[in-house]
Amino acid sequence: MILGAVLAGGQSTRFGSDKAMAQLGGRTLLALAVDALAGLCDAVVVVGRETAPAPTLPDWPRAGMGPLGGIAAALHHARDAGFAEVLTCAVDSVGLGDDLIVRLGAAPAYCADQPVIGLWPVSASAAVDAILKGQGRHSMRAFAESISARAVHFDIKPANINTPADLNAAEEQSHGL
């Protein structure tokens, strides 16, 4: 079984407002991300927010740990709930496609251009815990390397919305402009 986890605990500093609530095609980025994973996974959670259109989890071990804090929370929850793997994406990852799991292949694997998009075995919780408890950088790539995850290059890169200009570009692209 696969748990989907939308990572939504960022500060949206480059965006300038709560990015998760930004609208694309009349829907929030948060709702779009939840729906994208719901079509691929047995259950979906949102990590790093108190309210969402899916069950929520706090980052682990605490807020402010970056994407790895969200992945750690999802892996812990998945392990305790009997899931085998966690499929993660950021709240601003749009255009993932219905074949995301096929493109990623067997876990552990991640999108080379956006490492927060990944398929992680629950056994990876020990590795992410060690990184978060350590003194080094809380790097997605360090985590991926520590569990020998494969970097998968996608033919079409998922959108990564960090600024209002990125959102405008995604909106124009969705309208075929």
Residue 16 pLDDT: 61
Cβ neighbours of 25 (radius 10 Å): 10
Domain count for the chain: 1
Residue 55 scores a pLDDT above 80? yes
Residue 59 scores a pLDDT above 90? yes
Beta bridge partners, 151, equal: 110
Mean pLDDT confidence for 24-48: 95
Instruction: Identify the domain containing residue 10 by its residue range.
Output: 2-174
Residue 160 sits in a domain whose CATH number is 3.90.550.10
> What is the reported pTM?
0.93
Mean pLDDT confidence for 91-115: 93
Position 8, amino acid: A
**Which residues are within 8 A (CB) of 49 and not within 5 positions of it... i.e. 6 or more apart?**
8, 9, 20, 30, 56
